[in-house]
Every structure is written in C-alpha cells, then in structure tokens.
C-alpha cells in the first residue's frame, strides 16, 4: 500500500472539508450596518403585523388577550422533524430581551443566532433576508415594548443527520435567494406589494411548493403547495387561479369573508387578523403585486 498516497488523500479530503466548512460558516452583518436607523416602535408595530410574528410565536392556546405574549411553543411538522417556535418575548433569559438590534438583524437577514449558529429555515429568514434594515431596527424597538415571559423555548424534534446544524451553511449557499422572485413590476404600488409578500409577509413559504431538501420551487412561485400540517392543499394565488376581484380580495383581507360568504379558516385566519390591521394602501399594494405574478397553471 502506498502510505504516502493514502496520507495525501486524507490530507486533501480534510483540507476540502475545512474549506467547505469555512465557506459555509454562519455569517454576520458587518459592524455599523444598522447605524443611522431610527428606533421607531410605531413603525415597528406595522412591521410586526406584516411579518405575522404573533402567528407563530404565541403559545398554541393563546387567546386574543395573550396574543402579544410571544412565549413560543407552537410545533411545525416537516419531513425533517418537528420544529418549535422559540420564545421571542422580552424576557432577558428565556426570550430575546437581551438582544440588540444587530442580533435581530443577523437572525432575520443572515439566519445566524447571537451565539453564531445557523438557524433552521423553518424560521423564514429565507424571506426576511430581503427586509429593509430600517424596518428591523424599528421592529426591535416595538418588541421591547411587549411583555416578557419566562417559558423556556422547546427544543426541536429533529433526528440525525438533520440535527447537525453545520450542514445548514451548505443549504444556505444552495438555496438562499439574493434577489426578488418577481423582478419586472408595473409600478411603485406593485413594488411595495412585492416587499410585503416576498419579504415581510413571507407568503411564499406556505403558498409555494418545495423541493426534496425543503427549498422553495421558485419556478412555481405562489402556485400552491401541500399542507404540511393537515389534509388538503394551500391554494394557488397566482393569476392562473385567483379569480376574485380587487374588492373581493380587499374584503377578504379585512374581514375574512370570501365572495361566497364563507369564512377564512386554519392558519390563514391569523394571517387575516394581522392583515386587517395594516393600512388599506398596503393591502391594495399586495393585490397589485398578486396581479403581476407570473401565472402558475
């Protein structure tokens, strides 16, 4: 046996592994990336509503009275295991009360924790990474006004090899998009809608089918997907299937009633609860964007 060749091969493989790990290590924003942005809780509340934070991070049995207690605990099933939304309340120990705006920005824009670990993409930083840093600074200011809760975050129920977070760096390198999905839009209103749908609202995370590795199939953007937590499908909301008028959609976003006088149900009920509190201009911007999305038949 040629021991020199074997040692050289082992060394080369080791060097390649180290190179890949270094290239896919968690990344943080450069120092000063948030300098000059205003801590505006009122603006942050609008970001909070558009981002649907309470829809995931309230307790499973939360009521209207406890909707702003962001203690986490909801489970989200996937082919890779069950992920549990963490406590993001203002508690300094169990929640994110000790986080800076930089910590929040790195979580949302880079998928990186304050400790320097990759977050699983069950947390939709895949969409939030397109958010305006000024909105994130404002969101941090608003979250600081909400109550703290000492409930510990629940550990994810994810088996090997998916519990190895180091591999998430490679997943990010393969699948994190650096730009908008829909680039050619007719006007500023539709562009505002794109920001609300593709970034803050992360609508594609539910309404777009996924590949074998959990990545969004951008060729079928908003074209409908299997329901990960139950029977049926999450609908296609591209122009190929979205036949409602603008007024129908506006009414649905603000009241939860469909044109057929049915009512919104499932997870979408909480989405509508948030949408109803947004300015009408933002809702019309979402509608303008949905009209401009390429149809998926």
Distance CA 231, CA 208 (A): 16
What is the pTM for the complete model shown? 0.89
Q: How many CB atoms lie within 10 A of CB 201?
A: 24
Predicted local confidence at residue 121, as pLDDT: 93
Distance CA 61, CA 83 (A): 17
Distance CA 259, CA 243 (A): 10
Segment 61-83 mean pLDDT: 86
Distance CA 290, CA 254 (A): 17
Mean pLDDT of the chain: 90
Residue 157 pLDDT greater than 50, yes or no: yes
Reported as a pLDDT band with limits 50, 70 and 90, residue 209 is very high
Reported as a pLDDT band with limits 50, 70 and 90, residue 61 is confident
Reported as a pLDDT band with limits 50, 70 and 90, residue 46 is very high
Indicate the Cα dihedral angle 56, 62, 66, 69, nearest 10°. Answer: -40
Report the percentage of the chain scoring pLDDT > 70: 91
Predicted local confidence at residue 102, as pLDDT: 97
What is the separation of C-alpha 52 from the centre of its chain, rounded to a whole number of angstroms? 9
Residue 17 pLDDT greater than 50, yes or no: no
Within 8 A by CB and 6+ apart from 159, the residues are: 81
Within 8 A by CB and 6+ apart from 94, the residues are: 71, 87, 148, 149, 150, 151, 152, 153
Distance CA 182, CA 192 (A): 12
Question: When comparing pLDDT for 64 and 128, which is higher?
Answer: 128
Task: Write down all domains in the chain, each with its CATH number in brackets.
Answer: 41-175 (no CATH), 188-292 (1.10.760)
Reported as a pLDDT band with limits 50, 70 and 90, residue 27 is confident
């Amino acid at each position: 046996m040629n021991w020199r060749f074997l040692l050289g091969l082992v060394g080369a493989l080791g060097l390649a592994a180290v190179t890949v790990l270094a290239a896919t290590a968690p990344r943080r924003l450069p120092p000063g990336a948030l300098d000059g942005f205003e801590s505006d809780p009122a603006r942050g509340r609008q970001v909070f509503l558009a981002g649907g934070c309470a829809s995931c991070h309230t307790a499973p049995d939360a009521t209207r009275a406890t909707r702003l207690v962001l203690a986490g605990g909801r489970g989200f099933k996937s082919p890779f295991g069950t992920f549990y939304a963490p406590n993001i309340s203002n508690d300094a120990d169990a929640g994110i009360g000790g986080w800076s705006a930089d910590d929040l920005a790195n979580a949302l824009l880079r998928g990186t924790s304050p400790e320097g670990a990759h977050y699983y993409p069950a947390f939709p930083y895949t969409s939030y990474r397109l958010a305006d840093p000024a909105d994130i600074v404002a969101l941090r200011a608003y979250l600081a006004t909400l109550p703290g809760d000492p409930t510990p975050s629940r550990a994810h129920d994810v088996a090997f090899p998916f519990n190895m977070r180091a591999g998430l760096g490679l997943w990010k390198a393969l699948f994190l998009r650096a730009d908008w999905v829909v680039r050619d839009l007719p006007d500023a209103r539709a562009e505002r809608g794109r920001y609300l749908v593709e970034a803050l609202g992360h609508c594609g995370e539910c309404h777009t089918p996924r590949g074998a590795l959990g990545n969004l199939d951008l060729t079928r953007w908003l074209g409908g997907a299997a329901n990960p937590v139950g029977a049926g499908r999450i609908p296609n909301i591209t122009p190929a299937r979205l036949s409602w008028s603008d007024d129908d959609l506006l009414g649905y976003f603000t009241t939860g009633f469909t044109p057929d006088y049915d009512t919104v149900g499932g997870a979408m009920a909480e989405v509508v609860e948030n949408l109803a509190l947004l300015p009408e201009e933002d809702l019309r911007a979402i509608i303008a964007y949905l009209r401009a999305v390429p149809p998926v038949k």
